[in-house]
Amino acid sequence: MKPSRIIPLLQVILLALYAAGTVHGWLEPLELFNLLMMTACLVTTARAWRHPDESLVAGGILVLIGAHLFVGQRIAPDTLTGGAILLASLLTLYVGIQINRHLPRGYWWAFVTGYFVLYALFILHLNNAEPLFILFLMAMTACARSARLLAYYWAAVVSFTFLQPYAWPAVIILFFAISAVTGARSSVPSRLLPVFLAAGLALFAFVLLPVLLMLTGEDLHSLETVWRDPRIRAAIGRTAATATVSTAVLTLFGVPLAYAISRLRFPGRTLLLSLADLPIVIPQSVAGIALLRVFGRRQIIGGWLADTLGLPVDGTLLGIGIAQVFVAFPFLLRSAVAAFDTVDEELELTARSLGASPWNTFRRIALPLGARGIFLGIVLAWARAAGEFGAVVFIAPTPETAPVAAFNRFNSAGMIETAPLVSLLLLFSLVMFFLLQLTTRLLPTGAAQPRRRP
């Protein structure tokens, strides 16, 4: 049977149901809304009779009106909400038919499923959420033509319904993942790579979630309260100062060492490079205890430093600095060696033949060309030094650095009290890190012209 023949049939069924409804009292016979609905049905049927190509629209409209008349009134009792839902549904129907006509089949299925999921979410799952349903239905219709928009839309819906307490971090993470995956391009077409990317991002979400949760969870007022605490301010200032001094010392010794390692071949070179990673491998607490074994007040070196030079190490800024240098060392050295390795030796030979001494060659060629990599190492080293807790807490539990202060406050006051401090520290670290990263971008790279072998 042709679709255009179904319309009058549907109309007849509706009229019969309407009559039955008024007789049995399911429907108010003279209710203005119901009368309007029935009129709309008749008009639609008449139009479908004259324009058979619109029969699909007309059939859908009749089904929707019927559903609203007999079922919808039970769910959304007032006619205003019911009418709004009906209108939104009609819009959805229209968009659905357009999608069916112009877009691939998958879109249509996604759209229709989306409609029913929304219905289940807002009408059945939440109480009194009909206006929300309408709002989200309209939004979905607006997003329907673009798969990417639709993905953003569903990310928002899922975040604000299912992932309720973590809605904002979830939205940020999901939006980031969607823009990454849908925006991914490769030189060789591959469907596999975006899947890998998505899988990796799923794990990465667990890294981002705690950070974002802490950042979005606090209001400015509580942050300000923490910032006014002189003890906290002193701890943050101390952290920044010690990390900066430690990194400066590291840079002064580490960069020349890295240049030597990159350019020289000597016995034990590989061993040296592997041993330089030791501070990464050693558990931080173990490193702290080991440092205490050397620099503690009752140990030989520590005692000598304290008694002869008047420079006690444990429980002082010097101790904090030593622990920071220890843990940050590999980050600087690794990056700097890699940076110098990218500088073409031919450039340095050329500089020498132009009259530059080894020092001037280092200063004018190797250092500027390795600058970006070296600076990246400095950034990582600074971040590591500022964030170090394990090693620092053993050698210098006081004076407090910021990580130690967070630990102490957590132990004495608990999670709720510590949260604003943690947010503040996170914010502080993030701002520093982004600033330093930005500076790194501005430096030249060592990537010279591609090297040709003779």
Site residues (vs other proteins, CB under 8 A): 344, 346-347, 349-358, 360, 364-365, 368-369, 444, 447-452, 454
CB nearer to other proteins: give 145 or 352: 352
Least gap, CB of 188 to other proteins (angstroms): 26
CB nearer to other proteins: give 40 or 371: 371
- Closest by Cα among 228, 177, 171, 231 to 204: 177
List Cβ neighbours of 69 (8 Å cut-off, separation of 6 or more): 14, 17, 18, 21, 27, 34, 37
Residue keyed to tokens 């993030």 = 430
CB nearer to other proteins: give 285 or 350: 350
CB nearer to other proteins: give 146 or 350: 350
Q: What is the dihedral of CA 232, 233, 238, 241, to 10 degrees?
A: 150
Burial (0-12, 13-18, 19+ Cβ within 10 Å), 388: buried
Least gap, CB of 122 to other proteins (angstroms): 57
What 3-state class would DSSP assign to 342? coil
Q: What is the per-residue DSSP string for 133-167?
A: HHHHHHHHHHHTT-HHHHHHHHHHHHHHHTTGGGH
Rg (CA), the chain: 34
CB nearer to other proteins: give 124 or 447: 447
Least gap, CB of 349 to other proteins (angstroms): 5
Least gap, CB of 189 to other proteins (angstroms): 30
Distance CA 173, CA 369 (A): 36
The helix or strand, by DSSP H or E, that contains position 295, with its residue range, turns out to be helix 284-295
Least gap, CB of 139 to other proteins (angstroms): 48
Bond before 399 cis per omega within 30 degrees: yes
CB nearer to other proteins: give 228 or 451: 451
Least gap, CB of 370 to other proteins (angstroms): 10
